[in-house]
Structure 1
Amino acid sequence: MGSTSASPTFIGAIDQGTTSTRFLIFNRHGEPVASHQLEFKQYYPNPGWHEHDPLEIVESVEKCINGAVEAFERQGHPAKSIQAIGITNQRETTVVWNKKTGEPLYNAIVWTDTRSQHLVRELKQRLGAREVQPICGIPLSTYPSVSKLLWLLDNVPAVREAYDAGELAFGTVDTWLVYKLNGGPARNVFVTDPSNASRTMFVNLETLTYDDRLFDFFRLDRHKLHIAKIVPSAEKSAYGQLAGTVLKGVRITGCLGDQSAALVGQKGFYPGMAKNTYGTGCFLLYNIGPKPVASTHGLMTTVAFDFRGSGDGSIATPMYALEGSIAVGGSSIKFLQENFGFISSSKEISALAETVEDNGGCVFVTAFSGLFAPYWYDDAQGTIFGITQYTKRGHIARATLEATCFQTKAILDAMEKDSGHALKELAVDGGMCNSDLTMQTQADINGIPVHRPAMRETTALGAAIAAGFAVGMWKTFDDLKDVNVEGSTKFYPKISKEERDARFAKWEKAVQMSRGWLS
């Protein structure tokens, strides 16, 4: 397995998320041996706006590297045993900077930001709008990077001036980090991987190259805009090396967007494998194999990973995934805590739900900001059905947990129809998966086993795996079969198909009844 030297080797992983940055150091068994985490500032200048300071993101990464290495050395490991570094990052978040100076021209606009709504409405009316998603896999919305870039060009004079002068560099967080960690304009390492590039709306999913038809549709001049070169997700030289920190000179050899990284960290290497990350919202990725499949059921098509040319060369093709997102996951538990005062911390949700046998006839459609995949109902609002004098707090708590499970099933059903592959089991990670009751409910509603690993740092592990493939720490997917298997839990369905179908039919009825509140 990888190197033959006697001294143990390690891989570092930068996990740059929406609210915090972390650096983790993994051994060859995929176990984290040291880590450091920092939260950074969130900016909300107007309703629906969400920004980060791009320089603070870089600074947080460098501090986390130094902090984790310090803890690593205290355990007696030499820093030089860290062979390579992988990066995983929040996707779609958009950074613009001056190509000559390397200075950002505006705050990073975060993936959750909705300021470009009016622009998106205009784009949907534009001639050729229907041809966009079949090329790039993503529907026109405020979510991908392009709408954020168009807003910047329209509203920030410094960005427009740099564009007109041919000096505007645009990138997602991975590109910005690689560029800055390599030392900025002096080295000018300006790259991205397909899992991130495919979230911009500029990439042809078939060819994994930028498509002029997309630039033409968005009325952008490719010669004025500097965009990153697309290289494989595992690559031994393209991402350069650290110019600073205590790991100066260590190569960056892997890069994956966070949801792709979680799929890799869950070892979802083959078609028909899927993972659900239960965070604030939920992100479900389903491996569909080496050919992109256009969704006809309200899902996005994205690049899962591209490990071509790494390992022993047996991974000869990029893999694709269908993706569905649920707007409200863990945030529904926060809602019960902060708005209703049902619990004093989110950890108590399961205990409250377990005070009752079932939901007592309650169904809670948690459409706080409409419903995402596969429904895409923006006129739906949060609605609780079936309340009687019998209803207790426990019933509402249970219905809240079930809402995420029902939406997960709706997405999985859509994925099965789109892909033609039946799902055999669902791998899970993220905060909500700590609840045994929620995971058992998920297995019951899906009718397939739910697999929860003991070590939940799957996103960072995915970045480490990408970096490890590039430097030969692992050669094949088979080398990883024993990684993160010990102590895992499987939840098997315990209810009949009839009961499952009846419960899901009731949920679907509630979804239809929650529509039309927003006229």
Structure 2
Amino acid sequence: MPAFVGAIDQGTSTSRFLIFDDQGRIVTSHQVEFEQHYPNPGWVEHDPYDLIDSAKTCIEHAVRKFEDLGNDVSQIKAIGITNQRETAVVWDRHTGKPLGPAIVWSDSRTAETVKQLSEKSDKGIDAIKDICGLPLRTYFSGVKLRWMLDHNPHVQAAHDEGRLLFGTVDSWLIYNLTGGSKNGGLHVTDVTNASRTMLMDIHSLKWSQDVLSFFGFNPDILPRIVSSSEVYGNIHEGSLSGVPIAGCLGDQQAALVGQKCFQAGDAKNTYGTGCFMLFNTGDEPVISKNGLLTTVGYQFGTNKPAYALEGSIAVAGSSIQFLRDNLKMIKTASDVNTLASAVKDTAGVYFVTAFTGLFAPYWRDDARGTICGMTQFTTREHIARATLEASCYQTKAILDAMNADSGRPLKTLKVDGGMTNSDLCMQIQADILGINVDRPQMRETTGLGSAIAAGFAVGIWQDFEQLQNINSEDHTIFTPKISQEERNAKIKGWEQAVERSFGWANSS
């Protein structure tokens, strides 16, 4: 009987469950969009129950479709999990109930917390960077937890009384899927997600007592750190009851695996709610001198980990949602391509989509969304095109930083994610980068990556050589079509627009 692997892909705006065959092909899937909460400017929250309930719903619907295709659920040998990273969840170890909303990775309420923490060290925002590979920024879940302790008395009381459990979204999902508080749910996280908390020593792959003391956290609140590919436990109930959960990766690291970036020097860029470029640096961490992040790329079982440099963009696909939901310029996400294709350029308009600040390589929490260069000639078509270009310009800034840190300029960029469905956007990206952009036919590489990790753990695949033919056909290569002179002029305009976005946020 053919073997299959499932993958929960729990993202920032949707949850989905995908089922892959042993050739890495999607057999079926189901997706659910869930509510985003914005209680204050710069705040982004999720209901933790929405995260687990939407994942369970997707599993049940996808399994039903799988069986309707003539398959048997017993053929699903394992599932992997991939998730939005840095989003912080806290719950009570006795009841299993959340102690507040999940604070999402893009939330910027912790600006003052970051300021206070950076003042504790002569190194400022780099106070613990040598240990964890990350600067003190609003992005990471450690500062979100510190904010919760300072502002939510229920969280503080649970911490003081030994009832608090903390985790990123992977921990919350695995805890609930393996039984929760009533049935011995597991409290674990993999090395890739742990590397985004600021609390793990990037060298030893263990929680750092020095960093925990710096933040003021008790170690008993933390999940156990595991590899990205091993059997953690079995699903407790539902259609997949008894099926092992055997792979776990933060979504961007999962895409690195799904794009088969297994060699030092390989890189990929994922265009989802945000946009994230990862560059495989091999089995030693590289601390960036150009505003990038040092992270764990993946670790399969007891093998050495692969590390990566990462550049993160807070807003990519969510800018298209902004056009749809806030400005009512479009009815569906795909409409942005129709508008943007109707004009040959933006007529000098730039849209810096810094809704909650700018991430790498700028790292400006005080930046806010800014549209520059509008005239009476400007139309919604120009703004739609400028929205697509925003992610492409920020990707260029990250690539320049990555080339400087690595010393080996990238020749081709592998891409995936929802925005890559737009041929126009990917052509703009190749034009702005000045290098080829390589898009695979199947763009669900985050789900594929976690499925690969789970498949390795249960023996469906034994080595990376077996993966060479997976998702390797019908790639589209976008090549640059503008001159270097035109490219330089466009980038100069973008840099001027970015400068004008600085300083708008009131950190208090």
TM-score of the superposed pair, with normalisation by structure 1: 0.90
Please name the residue that 2:121 is paired with.
127
CA distance in 2 between counterparts of 1:156 and 1:228 reads 21
Measured after TM superposition, the shift of residue 59 of structure 1 is 2.8
Deviation digits for residues 451-503 of structure 1 (CA, Å, limit 9, x no counterpart):
11111211111110110111121122221111112232111122333433343
Please name the residue that 2:239 is paired with.
246
Match of 1:413 among 400, 406, 409: 400
1:140-151 correspondence runs (5 A): 140-151=136-147
Please name the residue that 2:217 is paired with.
220
User: Secondary structure at the residue paired with 1:428?
Assistant: strand
User: Secondary structure at the residue paired with 1:213?
Assistant: helix
Check the 8 A contact 1:272/1:424 in 2, yes or no: no
Please name the residue that 2:287 is paired with.
294
Match of 1:78 among 62, 72, 83: 72
Match of 1:138 among 129, 134, 147: 134
Measured after TM superposition, the shift of residue 214 of structure 1 is 0.3
Distance 1:371 1:57, change over 3 A: closer
Q: Does 1:8 align with 2:5?
A: no
Please name the residue that 1:59 is paired with.
53
Please name the residue that 1:438 is paired with.
425
Flag structure 2 segments of 5+ consecutive residues without an equivalent.
none
CA distance in 2 between counterparts of 1:124 and 1:148 reads 15
Flag structure 1 segments of 5+ consecutive residues without an equivalent.
1-6, 310-315
1:293-332 correspondence runs (5 A): 293-309=286-302, 316-332=303-319
CA distance in 1 between counterparts of 2:368 and 2:105 reads 22
Match of 2:12 among 12, 18, 21: 18
Please name the residue that 1:178 is paired with.
174
Match of 1:422 among 388, 399, 409: 409
Check the 8 A contact 1:98/1:162 in 2, yes or no: yes
Q: Which amino acid aligns with 1:497?
A: Q
Deviation digits for residues 427-463 of structure 1 (CA, Å, limit 9, x no counterpart):
2222221211211111121121111111121111111
Please name the residue that 2:230 is paired with.
235
User: Secondary structure at the residue paired with 2:89?
Assistant: strand
Which moves more between the two structures, 424-433 or 462-471?
424-433
CA distance in 2 between counterparts of 1:344 and 1:206 reads 47
User: Secondary structure at the residue paired with 2:221?
Assistant: strand
Check the 8 A contact 2:430/2:480 in 1, yes or no: yes
CA distance in 2 between counterparts of 1:517 and 1:165 reads 40
Measured after TM superposition, the shift of residue 79 of structure 1 is 0.6
Measured after TM superposition, the shift of residue 319 of structure 1 is 1.0
Check the 8 A contact 2:88/2:169 in 1, yes or no: yes
Check the 8 A contact 2:190/2:249 in 1, yes or no: yes
CA distance in 2 between counterparts of 1:342 and 1:46 reads 23
Which moves more between the two structures, 256-265 or 358-367?
358-367
Which moves more between the two structures, 194-203 or 500-509?
500-509
CA distance in 1 between counterparts of 2:135 and 2:61 reads 40
Check the 8 A contact 1:273/1:425 in 2, yes or no: no
Deviation digits for residues 156-212 of structure 1 (CA, Å, limit 9, x no counterpart):
333323322223222112112212211124434221101111111110111111111
CA distance in 2 between counterparts of 1:180 and 1:283 reads 28
Please name the residue that 1:100 is paired with.
94
Measured after TM superposition, the shift of residue 274 of structure 1 is 1.9
Please name the residue that 1:312 is paired with.
none
CA distance in 1 between counterparts of 2:104 and 2:226 reads 24
Measured after TM superposition, the shift of residue 392 of structure 1 is 5.2
Q: Which amino acid aligns with 2:216?
A: R
CA distance in 1 between counterparts of 2:320 and 2:286 reads 34
Please name the residue that 1:195 is paired with.
192
Please name the residue that 1:3 is paired with.
none
Measured after TM superposition, the shift of residue 396 of structure 1 is 4.1
Which moves more between the two structures, 134-143 or 201-210?
134-143
CA distance in 2 between counterparts of 1:59 and 1:393 reads 37
CA distance in 2 between counterparts of 1:34 and 1:493 reads 35
Deviation digits for residues 100-154 of structure 1 (CA, Å, limit 9, x no counterpart):
3433333323223333332222111113643312211222122211122222223
Identity of aligned residues (%): 56
CA distance in 1 between counterparts of 2:164 and 2:329 reads 50
User: Secondary structure at the residue paired with 2:280?
Assistant: strand
Deviation digits for residues 337-392 of structure 1 (CA, Å, limit 9, x no counterpart):
56666554432333333333334444443444443221223444544455556655
Deviation digits for residues 188-240 of structure 1 (CA, Å, limit 9, x no counterpart):
42211011111111101111111111011112232xx331111110013xx11
Match of 2:204 among 202, 207, 223: 207
Q: How many residues align?
A: 503
Q: Does 1:484 align with 2:481?
A: no
Check the 8 A contact 1:86/1:255 in 2, yes or no: yes
CA distance in 1 between counterparts of 2:169 and 2:360 reads 25
Distance 1:393 1:102, change over 3 A: closer
Match of 2:157 among 136, 155, 161: 161
Match of 1:468 among 455, 471, 474: 455
User: Secondary structure at the residue paired with 1:113?
Assistant: coil
CA distance in 2 between counterparts of 1:103 and 1:331 reads 29
Distance 1:67 1:214, change over 3 A: same
Q: Does 1:111 align with 2:111?
A: no
User: Secondary structure at the residue paired with 1:468?
Assistant: helix
Superposed CA RMSD in Å reads 2.4
Distance 1:114 1:473, change over 3 A: same
Q: Which amino acid aligns with 2:159?
A: Y
Measured after TM superposition, the shift of residue 63 of structure 1 is 2.5
Q: Which amino acid aligns with 1:251?
A: P
1:275-286 correspondence runs (5 A): 275-286=268-279
User: Secondary structure at the residue paired with 2:345?
Assistant: coil
Q: Does 1:257 align with 2:250?
A: yes
